[in-house]
Amino acid sequence: MRIREANAADLDAIFAIYDREVLTGTATFDTEPKSPAERAQWLASHGSPRTPAIVAELPGGVVAGWASLSPWSNRCAYARAAENSVYVHADHRGRGVGGVLLDDLLARARRAGLGVILARVVEGNPASVALHESRGFQTIGIMRRVGEKFGRILDVRLMDRHLDSPMPGPAAGRRAGRGE
């Protein structure tokens, strides 16, 4: 598996993975697939060291998953904070793809001088909680009843990972995240 920056040729694969969650899941609070112009705009807004978009490519060129960083806020004093996204194709989950993508994203965030990465995880997404905890994220709060999708009102867990401490390996991340 190779991790590399996303390019325009990846947009169909990236949004095939994402749109499944848009239309059938609650991992994202987007409810409508993006238009071709919005997809291109998404890619254009993810080209800088602080806002990377990366893909996990399997032998043969199959995109198994993608990840990105976005600004937490457009207010300047939040510039040290970014939010991550990680999406893995349903056929390739549970095999380490999400972990490798998140490791790469955290390394890029650190090199870019970011201070903290935030993750918003909807209630009832144990895979995402486990993924983030395995990489040293900790839960810092629950935003209660902030979302509504498919007729369900949803809580969102807010998690953070501070980058000004040594980057833990997966085992250290588990200890940090799960209090082991």
Please report, as ranges, the residues that interact with ligand COA according to CB under 6 A: 21, 27, 86-88, 93-99, 119, 121, 125-128, 130-131, 134, 170, 174
| Least Cβ distance, residue 90 to ligand COA (angstroms) | 8
Between 110 and 174, CB nearer to ligand COA: 174
Joined together, the tokens standing for residue 75 give: 């207010």
Between 114 and 156, CB nearer to ligand COA: 156
Q: Concatenated DSSP letters for 51-118?
A: S-EEEEE-TTS-EEEEEEEEES-SSGGGTTEEEEEEEE-GGGTTSSHHHHHHHHHHHHHHHTT--EEE
| Least Cβ distance, residue 95 to ligand COA (angstroms) | 5
Between 113 and 127, CB nearer to ligand COA: 127
| Least Cβ distance, residue 59 to ligand COA (angstroms) | 17
**What's phi and psi for 177, nearest 5 deg?**
-80, -30
